[in-house]
Structure 1
Amino acid sequence: TTVHVRIHANPDTVSIGMANTGDGIAPDYLERIFDRFFRVDPSRQRSSEGTGLGLAITKSIVIAHGGTISAASTGAVNTFTIKLPRVPLAL
């Protein structure tokens, strides 16, 4: 499906939001999807489609840069938001 990306800059932070349609994520899973090896669909545990590390790695990188990442799901729209501190450019 189409992925919509929005970038919003504030004086202190930059927010990057990504949204797409597809299978919704149950509220019980929203916090766990950032855990290493967690898969929402247990039937895919032995699939070659991934290992359940992508979001965990993304979270580690975001935290290493002083940011946060969150997920939301409403109906068939899943949204991930990354917030990073804004750092002045060195000239």
Structure 2
Amino acid sequence: MPSHEFTLDDLRRILRDGAGADEAADLDGDIADTDFESLGYESLAMLETGGRIEREFDITLDDDALTDARTPRELIEAVNALLEPAEIG
């Protein structure tokens, strides 16, 4: 598993590269708590985003992770929960 944390900058890059950016969406602003729909990212774009995250970070997102995560902050938290190493004894 990758050792680094999944960040808002990682998500911005993946959103732009994979799903394309809605011309009206300002991904450079404070978007952590803005819902994806308001940013112009519908379900198909989020599926593509999830696939790119899984490939790049070598994780498997739960089926509900993308639908439950309504904001970038929630998706980042879900990804980072999978990146954290398991506690040993």
State TM-score, norm by structure 1: 0.30
Higher helix share: 2
State TM-score, norm by structure 2: 0.30
Higher strand share: 1
